[in-house]
Structure 1
């Protein structure tokens, strides 16, 4: 479990939740410009890790995804609908409007960590993720589900059940799965900001490299 765990400390997590810092920053999805109206859209529905919490603007892994697509001449636009502090319930509530407004071809779902920090029952989180995937699929979008771990001091049984939730939903709903967004940096404290929860700017390429091999086969080149 040591190499496959989310190292964020419970004290830091609790302090951020209690103070409201987890929900202070956000990046909302923006409508495509008219010149991009015919381009297929990738929507990233995530929380603070995808919303560039504590990072300079346009340096997070989603911004790097835009650059990778441009470099490889893969003609997609990317709408970052991530909001710091968001939960699976929040993502579920926002999905219908996002699907109607942006009509994405692909939806990347990176939610769930804040559910654990708030003590949301796993059955509720799993049901929300399943509904988010259903909403995307009903809009003819392909889905990439991004898995996470919670701190090991939540207890081995809980951490295993939490992580297994993503694989279960991905299998049931026939979606692609990124097993762990923070794979490769989870045991490197220097790759996290002072709160030991949010990856630094230098860690962002690693996050993209965890997502890209799963996303790339879905892209029309």
Structure 2
């Protein structure tokens, strides 16, 4: 009788343990499948977000220049012409982001050494605004031209898809007729030889007009920068794509 009494609980215990084992296996299988499905959804979402972020990356317009580009003397940096052009771009809902790489006092020689630090291979449009400080310092026209050509070559080599725009500059007549004429001719000749766009004279309708310049008579005030922005915009706008 004892043997009979002891056998019944052992058999029940074994059956119960087998039931628990089956239940645990089923739960683990469901958990694994759920985790795999979750992983697949997460991967798809990551892929989608990656594609979306890639599509919304703005194209870059790099302004590379001196104090005129940097907005020297302005109380509000947003009054500088590159920032005003960004406003025009935004108003048209165009997907471009401007980088202002202007540096006060920069010469073409300084620009050569600095260019590698700011030039990125994915730049869409490169606007070169240098040379004025060369002229004011009496740097030889040949040297200025050589330096500008070097920078144009550098951009074509490092950012071969970039459209290049050269900003033309002129000097006050008191620096000598021959020198000022030779200096003025640098820019259209370089633009033609390199098949790049030209802003004929960056300070058109601003240079030499006291009411549009700061007290130094050289750097535009906010009103002057608005006109400069229009001078640049007339050349830049046709280069922009939706």
Q: Same fold (TM over 0.5)?
A: yes
For 2:199 and 2:209, locate their aligned partners in 1 and report how far apart those are by CA, in whole Å: 20
Confirm whether residue 61 of structure 1 aligns to residue 94 of structure 2. no
Q: Tell me the CA shift for residue 217 of structure 1.
A: 1.6
Query: Highest Rg: 1 or 2?
Result: 2
Which residue, 134, 137, 153 being the options, matches 1:118?
A: 137
Which residue, 212, 216, 219 being the options, matches 2:233?
A: 212
Work out the number of aligned pairs and report it: 187
Aligned counterpart, 2:105: 85
Two-structure CA RMSD over aligned residues (Å): 1.7
Deviations 1:173-203 (A, max 9, x none): 1110001111112242111100111000111
Counting only pairs closer than 5 Å after superposition, residues 95-174 of structure 1 correspond to structure 2 as 95-100=115-120, 103-138=122-157, 139-140=159-160, 141-174=162-195
Structure 2 gaps, min length 5: 1-52
Which residue, 39, 44, 68 being the options, matches 1:49?
A: 68
Aligned counterpart, 2:219: 198
Q: Tell me the CA shift for residue 137 of structure 1.
A: 1.6
Q: Tell me the CA shift for residue 134 of structure 1.
A: 1.2
TM-score normalised by length of structure 2: 0.74
Deviating 4+ runs (over 6 angstroms): 34-37
CA contact (8 A) 2:210 2:217 kept: yes
Structure 1 gaps, min length 5: 1-33
CA contact (8 A) 1:136 1:142 kept: no
CA contact (8 A) 2:80 2:225 kept: yes
Q: Tell me the CA shift for residue 98 of structure 1.
A: 1.9
For 1:83 and 1:35, locate their aligned partners in 2 and report how far apart those are by CA, in whole Å: 31
For 1:54 and 1:35, locate their aligned partners in 2 and report how far apart those are by CA, in whole Å: 38
Higher helix fraction (1 or 2): 2
CA contact (8 A) 1:36 1:77 kept: no
TM-score normalised by length of structure 1: 0.80
